[in-house]
Structures are given as structure tokens and as C-alpha cells.
């Protein structure tokens, strides 16, 4: 078994190289010279649940094991400012997750009870969460409980369905030669690991890097969904994983993550710090945009230092947030992206961190509803701020330390895939 696992891992490294398409009727231009990965795959949003206003059933607590893997069972008093959070604001986000979880054995009871809570009833919501769940402090592999908390948002770009008039940078749909390989079929120990590659001379090889795609090596011509006016904004759309594009006539199109090229994300902010061109405290999204404005001739080469590339699809209009990896809409301030190998998607998580660029506490109940190729590790979260410039300001500056407690149904330890 161990030998098979190491062979599969070696294959993984070899292929990965490290970590609604719309055809444009116009003639595509020469390969672009411009354009960190996406926090999340997309699928059409389910209808918003409507909790019934009926009394909440009594949930009988079950005995808990004291510890399981990297999770430590604790009391509610261990959660900072737990009693100050309005849990009724987190309940709608959890109900959206229940549209996916309600058929799972571990979650049937909790999701059934959640649907009976009257909307906006803070006391009933608190009683529900404290009765239905138990808090488990998350530990890293080294035993530590502190981890990195970053932020993301849904940006607004300006673009067109046709190339030209300033709209020169394409948003591509998934190319036809991109392969997604699920390793769990050959080795159960590799569950959750999917590789991307392509066929070449009857062999699977790594897919094209960002630089190669932009040089025109990948078969993406004709796969353009939209064209946008700013390569830096496009790059950060890849980082966020979803966004909206305003067209010249005023229409807004929503796009979301469809797939990626399988290459590991490399931080261009870190590169600029290593070169001495940005200080650590200025290596934020805003700082990188300022650098780009001052160095337009060097921008393409910098962006291509990150080999990761994201492909998108057009999504239907919706008043709800973008779709996360769990397949449900994200809720501003109440959704996070996590490493799904450590935190079960759909689980409520109490996050204890601080407001960006400050020491002010940010302690609240959120729901694990998204993932991202840069979100790796047990104590690791990406906080979803919402849509637009204000959300982008907070997300771009967020790089805080934090702790996480997974709320899992009573009597059961957390069970990631």
C-alpha cells in the first residue's frame, strides 16, 4: 500500500508540476502579452431556503470523545466573544449549506432543526447552535492553533463581448484539451487530489503555464467569454475566482470559476518583496496595483511569474453572492474558504481573528463554503467580504493571524473527506 501511494504521489508531482463557453464571433487578435488562483468552483445557485416559523425541536446532547485527530473538543466559553455574536446572521448561510448537506447522515438532524428557526430570531438561533453542535478547536499538524486568515471578494471589471476599443484581455472558458484526473480511483489514500494535464505523444504532461497560455500555445482561441480593459484587474479576477463584468451598454455579466491549469500559485507580491521593490506592509493588492501603474512595461513579465491560470464560465444573474466550492452562494461576512481536507465543507466555523491592519477583534460564526488552491492547512481561512470596491479594500489588506473552531453535530468528531 505504501509503495502504491508513493508511486501515485510521484505521478501527481510529474503531472501537476508542483501544487458556458461563448465563442466570440470576431477574429481573435494575436496572443496576448499580458493578461492569486481561484478560491472556488461554481455551479448554479440553489433557491434560497425559507425557514418555517415553527417551534424548534429539542436536541438531546450526546457524549463526545475528548479529541479526534487535529481537533480538540472544548466548551463554548473558550470561544472569544461567542456570546456577543448575532448568530441569527449566520443561520441563513448555514441553511444554504444544508441544501447540500441535508441528505448526509451526520447532518440530517441539524439541518432539519435549522429549517424550523424563525428568521431573525437571535435567541432561537443561539439555542439551536449550542444544542445541535459542539465546538472543536482546530490544530495544525505541528500542534499549534494559530494560522493565517486572508480575505477575498467579488470584483467588478469593465469589458465587452467583442475584442477591440480598449477591450483586449480575454476571460477564457475551459480549453478542450485540459484533463482533470482524479487519483482516488487508483489509490483511496489520495482522495480529494485531482490533477490537471494534457495529452502529448500518448503521455500525460503538465498543462500549459500562464506564460505559455498567453503566448498562444494553448488551444484557447475562440474560447473567449468576454474581453476586459485591464490586465491587472483580470489577474486579480483569477485570484478571487469570481466576479462581475460591466459591459458598455450597462449590462453586468457574472463569471465564476470553471477550472484551472493545475499549476501552483506563486505570489507576485512576495516576488516584489524579495526584489526589494515593495515592503512587506505594502505587498497588498492595492500595493501591487500601484506598482503596476508605475511599471507598465514590466507588468507582463511579473504576472507570468505566477504559473497558475484560471478558466471561467458565465453564470446566470442572481441577487445572491457568487457560488463557492460547495455549490451554494457565498454570504458576505459569513462565508469562508478553507482547506477541505481539514475542514468539512458546509460546517459552521467560529473564526477568531482581527480586522485588517488593526488589532480590533473580528470574532464571528461563519460557514465553510469555499476552497482555493492557495488555501492550504488546517488553521487557514479566506474571509469573504462581499462585492465591490469597499469589500476589495478590506480583502486586499487582510493578512491576519487567527484561530478556528469547527462546530460539528454533537456526538460526532469532525470528518473531512
The position carrying cell 508511486 is 7
Query: What's the CA gap between 352 and 255, in Å, rounded?
Result: 31
Q: Give the mean pLDDT of 47-72.
A: 48
Cβ-in-10-Å burial (0-12, 13-18, 19+) of 66 comes to: exposed
* pLDDT reported for residue 213: 98
**Which of 49-58, 137-146, 214-223 is the least confident region?**
49-58
* pLDDT reported for residue 3: 40
Kindly report the pTM of this predicted structure. Answer: 0.79
Q: Give the mean pLDDT of 116-125.
A: 96
* pLDDT reported for residue 69: 62
Query: What's the CA gap between 321 and 330, in Å, rounded?
Result: 5
What phi and psi, each to the nearest 5 degrees, are found at residue 217? -75, -30
Q: How confident is the model at residue 415 (pLDDT cuts 50, 70, 90)?
A: confident
* pLDDT reported for residue 258: 94
Mean pLDDT, the chain, as a whole number? 86
* pLDDT reported for residue 192: 66
* pLDDT reported for residue 200: 96
Which cell goes with 230? 485591464
A 10 A CB-CB count for 252 gives 11
* pLDDT reported for residue 281: 87
The position carrying cell 500542534 is 143
A 10 A CB-CB count for 223 gives 20
* pLDDT reported for residue 54: 36
* pLDDT reported for residue 242: 94
* pLDDT reported for residue 373: 78
The size of the chain, in residues, is 417
Which tens digits make up the pLDDT trace of 155-192? 999 999 999 989 999 999 999 999 998 877 777 766 66
Separation in Å, CA 142 to CA 146, 195, 403? 11, 27, 14
Residues contacting 50, CB < 8 A, separation 6+: none
Q: Bigger pLDDT: 319 or 384?
A: 384
**How many Å from the N-terminal Cα to the C-terminal Cα in the chain?**
19
* pLDDT reported for residue 268: 96
A 10 A CB-CB count for 27 gives 7
Q: Is the pLDDT of residue 37 over 50?
A: no
Q: Is the pLDDT of residue 25 over 50?
A: no
Q: Give the mean pLDDT of 279-296.
A: 93
- Domains by residue range for the chain, with CATH: 2-45+154-315 (2.40.240.50), 71-150+324-409 (2.40.40.10)
Highest mean pLDDT among 32-46, 62-76, 95-109: 95-109
Which tens digits make up the pLDDT trace of 352-368? 999 999 999 999 999 99
Which tens digits make up the pLDDT trace of 259-285? 999 999 999 999 999 999 999 988 889
Amino acid at each position: 500500500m505504501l509503495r502504491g501511494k508513493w508511486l501515485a504521489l510521484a505521478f501527481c508531482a510529474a503531472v501537476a508540476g508542483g501544487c458556458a463557453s461563448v465563442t466570440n464571433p470576431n477574429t481573435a487578435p494575436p496572443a496576448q502579452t499580458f493578461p492569486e488562483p481561484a478560491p472556488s468552483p461554481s455551479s448554479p445557485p440553489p433557491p434560497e431556503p425559507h425557514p418555517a416559523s415553527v417551534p424548534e425541536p429539542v436536541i438531546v446532547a450526546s457524549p463526545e470523545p475528548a479529541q479526534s485527530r487535529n481537533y480538540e473538543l472544548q466548551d463554548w466559553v473558550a470561544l472569544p466573544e461567542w456570546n456577543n455574536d448575532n448568530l441569527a446572521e449566520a443561520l441563513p448561510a448555514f441553511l444554504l449549506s444544508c441544501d447540500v448537506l441535508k441528505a448526509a447522515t451526520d447532518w440530517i438532524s441539524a439541518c432539519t432543526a435549522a429549517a424550523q428557526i424563525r428568521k431573525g430570531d437571535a435567541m432561537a438561533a443561539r439555542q439551536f447552535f449550542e444544542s445541535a453542535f459542539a465546538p472543536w478547536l482546530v490544530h495544525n499538524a505541528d500542534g499549534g492553533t494559530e494560522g493565517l486568515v486572508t480575505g477575498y471578494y467579488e470584483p467588478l471589471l469593465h469589458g465587452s463581448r467583442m475584442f477591440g476599443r480598449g477591450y483586449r484581455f480575454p476571460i477564457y472558458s475551459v480549453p478542450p484539451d485540459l484533463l482533470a484526473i482524479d487519483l482516488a480511483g487508483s489509490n483511496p489514500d489520495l482522495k480529494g487530489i485531482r490533477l490537471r494535464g494534457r495529452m502529448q505523444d500518448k503521455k500525460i504532461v503538465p498543462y500549459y503555464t500562464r506564460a505559455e497560455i498567453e503566448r498562444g500555445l494553448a488551444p484557447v482561441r475562440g474560447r473567449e467569454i468576454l474581453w476586459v480593459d485591464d490586465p491587472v484587474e483580470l489577474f486579480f479576477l483569477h485570484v478571487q475566482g469570481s466576479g462581475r463584468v460591466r459591459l458598455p451598454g450597462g449590462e453586468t455579466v457574472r463569471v465564476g470559476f470553471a477550472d484551472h491549469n493545475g499549476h501552483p500559485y506563486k505570489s507576485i507580491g512576495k516576488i516584489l518583496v524579495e526584489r526589494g521593490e515593495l515592503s512587506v506592509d505594502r505587498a497588498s493588492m492595492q500595493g501591487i496595483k500601484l506598482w503596476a501603474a508605475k511599471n507598465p512595461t514590466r507588468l507582463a513579465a511579473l504576472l507570468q511569474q505566477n504559473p497558475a491560470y484560471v478558466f471561467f464560465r458565465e453564470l446566470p444573474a442572481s441577487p445572491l453572492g457568487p457560488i463557492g466550492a460547495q455549490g451554494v452562494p457565498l454570504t458576505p461576512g459569513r462565508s469562508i474558504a478553507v482547506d477541505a481536507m481539514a475542514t468539512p465543507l458546509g460546517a459552521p466555523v467560529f473564526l477568531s481573528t482581527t480586522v485588517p491592519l488593526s488589532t480590533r477583534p473580528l470574532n464571528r460564526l461563519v460557514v465553510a463554503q469555499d476552497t482555493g488552491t492557495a488555501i492550504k492547512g488546517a488553521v487557514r481561512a479566506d474571509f469573504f467580504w462581499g462585492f465591490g470596491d469597499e469589500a476589495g479594500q478590506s480583502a486586499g489588506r487582510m493578512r491576519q493571524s487567527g484561530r478556528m473552531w469547527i462546530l460539528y453535530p454533537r456526538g460526532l468528531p469532525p470528518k473531512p473527506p
